[in-house]
Amino acid sequence: MSIFGPTLSAWAAALLYVALKPFKAGEPWAWHCMAVSLAIWFVPDTVFSVTNGIWTNVLFNMVGFIMVALPLAFTRKAFVKCGGKSGESR
């Protein structure tokens, strides 16, 4: 296990909590939290892996991204409020 194994495990635990509580309750911030955290992990990690030729990690990232992003994308409409905007009012 690399130094980032525990970090990835902690991120997964946090996302699991978000998925089981606020996401399940339909809270818009939970959808955004999951989408943004997925992008923050995927983009820099994959760019780094591509530029350094770590193709196994690129493949791992692609599979992981698809497994999370597809179901997340399919739930998007459930989090969009009337008028086509999502999110909480401030």
Q: What are the tens digits of pLDDT across the range 65-81?
A: 999 999 999 999 999 87
Contacts 24+ apart (CB under 8 A), 13-19: none
Instruction: Place 86 in a pLDDT band, splitting at 50, 70 and 90.
Output: low
What is the token pair recorded at 45?
Answer: 């990690």
DSSP tag of 81: P
Q: Is 87 a residue whose pLDDT tops 60?
A: no
8 A C-beta contact, residue 28 and residue 81: yes
- For 50-68, write each residue's pLDDT tens digit: 999 999 999 999 999 999 9
C-alpha 47/C-alpha 54 separation (Å) is 10
8 A C-beta contact, residue 76 and residue 31: yes
Measured distance between the N- and C-terminal CA atoms of the chain, rounded to whole angstroms: 42
Instruction: Place 84 in a pLDDT band, splitting at 50, 70 and 90.
Output: low
C-alpha 18/C-alpha 82 separation (Å) is 23
pTM of the predicted model, to two decimals? 0.79
